Structure 1
Amino acid sequence: MSRRRDTGPAMDRRQRVLNFVQPRGRIGVEIGPLTRPLILKSESEVLYADHMSTEALRHHYRSHSTLGPEGIDGVVPVDLVLGEGGLPQALGTRGPVDYIVASHVVEHLPDPIGWLAEGAEVLREGGLFCLIVPDKRFTFDHFRTPTSVGAVVAAHLQRLRHPPLSIVYEHFARATAIDRRAVWQGRPASIRPLTGGPEAALEATARIAEHGVYVDVHCTVFTPFSFGTVLAEVLGLGLLPFECAALEPTCPMGDEFFVLLRKRSDRTPAERAASVPRLDPRRHDALPSPKLTARLAVAARRFRGRGTP
């Protein structure tokens, strides 16, 4: 699947990120901005990073509708090309930085723990890592099972560079066109395969296994609740030097949630784990019911009315 672009009010999500990282006067990195960076060059000393050069990205997306009306000409110049050495090698002597922003990136990484650890390596003490993560309930991942702690730990111990075949199969077998508004209204989602369903998934996975090619899929899928559960255990295991500064669940009618990690090497693993908010699984893991959606909508209006980011 292609990288997801904005489906909601762009300014709302951008302002939330700005409020999180306070970029003015700071040095940072935004990973994968394509045509719509969340941090502008006029707002901060920000470096744009991607896994391809500007020219390669424009060639890759030349026939994609993903980029929106800007088209390939809107792809912002890439400052850092991420190779095998990841962000530490690409950044080199330009680090450390004050913040990293990544929207709809973490789910594509075969080893998300290793990727977050690379981010921590280039952040100053107290630096911020801001993630925007798709909520699987309201995306084409709707019918996939949330990723477990064991899966991300195993991926890290194996130093995975390619999605495991089990994940490739799940992606091709379960990807489904979803009416997000209908799901929020408590209506059951219909199975409308985007990639052919299980039979086509088996054929595709067999070809990939035979030829060993890299395929871009969502290696992890989360709800806000499941992400918090996984994050707390990973931090408690001492695998990452972060505390959770914020975990903002998916807003009514939205399809993504926001996570803010702060590098804190002086905290114990137990203290870092305790920093993760405990979310209500009835609201932030289960599928919405019509009554719950109505209550959330009222709460969201009140929330915004207080001027909350």
Structure 2
Amino acid sequence: MDRNEKLLSAFPAGSRGLEIGALCHPLVSEGEYDVRYVDWTSTDALRAKYANDPNVDVDKIVTVHYTLQEGHSLRQIIGDDLGDGFDFVIASHVIEHVPNPIGWFREIAGVLRPGGFLSLAIPDQRYIFDCKRELTGAGRWIDAFHSKQTRPSLGDIYDHFSNYVEVPLANFENLQFDPDTYPETHFDREWIKEALLRDESPESYIDCHCTTYTPFSFTHLLKEVMHLGLCDFRVHSFYETERGGTEFVVVLERMREGEPNGSGISEQLASLPDVTRHAGEWGWTDLHGYIDAQRLREKELEERIGTQEGELAELGSALAARDRDLEATRSELEKFRRLAERQHESLREILSSRSWRITAPLRWCVERFRHPGTQS
């Protein structure tokens, strides 16, 4: 199953939905679905912002139908277009930028019909520039929800830029992930220092990764907010990060009205996938253990390969010995063939000799004597 199939497989053809942050790479096309696009600013503003960015084709930037506005919920922004609610919302690499994930989930639930889907592609912290950061815990989600956080905090911004590392392409090709070997990124801390001294927040919105996740940590966070009754979704499908990949996919289904209580919470918890917690799941401080475990596994694999190579060498020797035996048998057969040919030649010489013709009457007499009743 490819990436698009994972993200879109729950959506019936022709269904009505939203895509958040599509820019010039929409996952949902207007021809296949009745889709509306949501972004942080207008189409013209996006084209102006990315006019000189070689990675963005400004001519392909989608038409933004709804522009996010601080202090206004998504439901308020959509207004009368909401109707009975959308069938789906899709957001690729968006949730990690959201300052208040619980509040964001509740906003999304507010525009989905019961049984509608929220489809997320989420970067895996272990394999991107966030790999030296601590994973986001439930306390971070709860604090942001309680304080109604609408912008990245100074701490979020500091963690993002001060821990940013470049993951070399060769690491993906060789599947070797060791942050100790990544080049450091130099970060100017002065403006953060000045903001702290002034006890001020940045005047403009500074985009960053407010949160970081792995498949296991994200599942754990969902479990915690389900227990608290703060989640309006169950897990419909969950696709862990593939080998060599950098993201995982989660499709959530909106619960029916009034369900996140009692039996509803039990149903939510039962929908959580059984995701294996790997060594180093809780961030940079434990990553050395993960690396050591990987190196131990590599050593075990090398030993197994060495054993198999030895077995192959023994098998090769046995095959070589069998080949030698087969060659010796062929040689013996050739000797017998040549001997048979010589014997046949000798017999032909005898049968064509003068003595054989002279002694023919004598042989006839001997034959008659041995078999008296035989006629010639």
TM range, normalised to the smaller chain? 0.7 to 0.9
Higher RCO structure, 1 or 2 (CA under 8 Å, sep 6+):
1
Alignment of 1:12-91 (within 5 A): 12-22=2-12, 24-67=13-56, 71-84=57-70, 85-91=72-78
- By how many angstroms is 1:126 displaced? 0.3
Point out the more displaced range, 207-216 or 84-93.
Answer: 207-216
Amino acid at match of 1:275: S
Q: Is the 8 A contact 1:111 1:159 kept in 2?
A: yes
Q: State the alpha-carbon separation in 2 of the partners of residues 206 and 133 from structure 1.
A: 31
1:102 alignment partner, SS class: strand
Counting aligned pairs with the same residue, the percent is 34
Cα deviation, 1:43-102, whole Å, max 9, x if unaligned, reads 0100011110000111111222342xxx21111111111113132122212221000000
Aligned to 2:171: 182
Q: Is the 8 A contact 1:21 1:130 kept in 2?
A: no
Gap runs ≥5 in structure 2: 282-286, 302-376
Gap runs ≥5 in structure 1: 1-10, 296-309
| TM-score of the pair, normalised by structure 2 | 0.68
Q: State the alpha-carbon separation in 2 of the partners of residues 187 and 141 from structure 1.
A: 12
Q: State the alpha-carbon separation in 2 of the partners of residues 42 and 140 from structure 1.
A: 35
Alignment of 1:1-309 (within 5 A): 12-22=2-12, 24-67=13-56, 71-84=57-70, 85-95=72-82, 96-179=85-168, 182=171, 185-189=175-179, 190-194=181-185, 196-197=186-187, 200=188, 202-209=189-196, 210=200, 212-213=202-203, 214-265=205-256, 266-267=259-260, 268-282=264-278, 285=281, 289=294
Q: Is the 8 A contact 1:181 1:253 kept in 2?
A: no
Aligned to 1:6: none
Q: State the alpha-carbon separation in 2 of the partners of residues 65 and 177 from structure 1.
A: 19
2:220 alignment partner, SS class: helix
Cα deviation, 1:235-292, whole Å, max 9, x if unaligned, reads 1211021111122111111101101110113352233133211211128937573758
Amino acid at match of 2:175: Q
1:228 alignment partner, SS class: helix
2:160 alignment partner, SS class: helix
User: What is the total number of aligned residue pairs between the two structures?
Assistant: 275
Cα root mean square deviation, aligned: 2.3
Give 1 or 2: higher helix fraction.
Answer: 2
1:15 alignment partner, SS class: helix
Runs of 4+ off more than 4 Å: 207-211
Cα deviation, 1:171-214, whole Å, max 9, x if unaligned, reads 111000013652672441324234x14xx2x3242355546222
Structure 1 pair 234/81, CA: closer, same or farther in 2 (3 Å)?
A: same
